[in-house]
């Protein structure tokens, strides 16, 4: 009986891991989510949603919707500071998921050059290392 239970648990873990890979592959199959992940990788620090929006030149609603999917799959975390939300990449323990994210890092520069430049410009506006809007609201 115990042997049968162990086999079922092992089979469940295999299915669970496979579903995790499938969900991440689905999330990575969208251009906007790839661009968001790439911007987070380039920043190498938590970004305010408005910094991501400005870097990608997309509507905040659209970016927020994609951030939710990235968060649900465990690729990004969110931290709230007052009315501002900051996002960062979560460290991944699974080597397979790390390899999938490494593929995102290998997206050729010509596809993300504009995003990179806008991100650099936007990060230059930070106040005390935080989003300029979040910094302004704390001082005001």
- pTM for the complete prediction? 0.82
Task: Find the domain containing 33 and state its range.
Answer: 2-125
pLDDT band, residue 132 (cuts 50/70/90) = confident
The residue-averaged pLDDT of 126-138 equals 67
Of 103, 122, 121, residue with least CA distance to 37: 103
Q: Is the residue at 136 inside a domain?
A: no
Q: Is residue 131 part of a domain?
A: no
Tally of domains within the chain: 1
- Model confidence pLDDT, tens digit, residues 96-127: 889 999 999 999 989 999 999 999 999 999 88
| Strand, helix or coil for residue 76 | strand
Q: Are 55 and 128 in contact (CB under 8 A)?
A: no
pLDDT at position 86 = 93
Q: What is the CATH number of the domain that holds 29?
A: 1.10.10.10
Question: What's residue 4's pLDDT?
Answer: 52
> What whole-number percentage of the chain has pLDDT above 70?
84
Does any domain span residue 130? no
Residue tagged 């911007």 (tokens)? 39
pLDDT in tens, 21-58: 888 999 999 999 999 999 999 998 999 999 999 999 99
In a domain, 62, yes or no: yes
């Amino acid at each position: 009986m115990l042997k049968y239970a162990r086999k079922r648990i092992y089979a469940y873990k295999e299915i669970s891991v496979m579903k995790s890979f499938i969900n991440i592959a689905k999330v990575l199959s969208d251009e906007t989510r790839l661009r968001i992940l790439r911007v987070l990788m380039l920043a190498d620090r938590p970004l305010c949603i408005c910094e991501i929006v400005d870097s990608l030149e997309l509507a905040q609603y659209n970016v927020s919707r994609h951030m939710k999917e990235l968060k649900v799959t465990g690729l990004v975390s969110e931290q709230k500071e007052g009315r501002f939300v900051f996002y960062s990449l979560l460290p991944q323990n699974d080597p397979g998921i790390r390899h999938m994210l490494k593929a995102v890092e290998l997206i050729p520069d010509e596809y993300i050059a504009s995003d990179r430049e806008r991100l650099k410009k936007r990060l230059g506006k930070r106040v005390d290392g935080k989003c300029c809007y979040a910094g302004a609201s704390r001082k005001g």
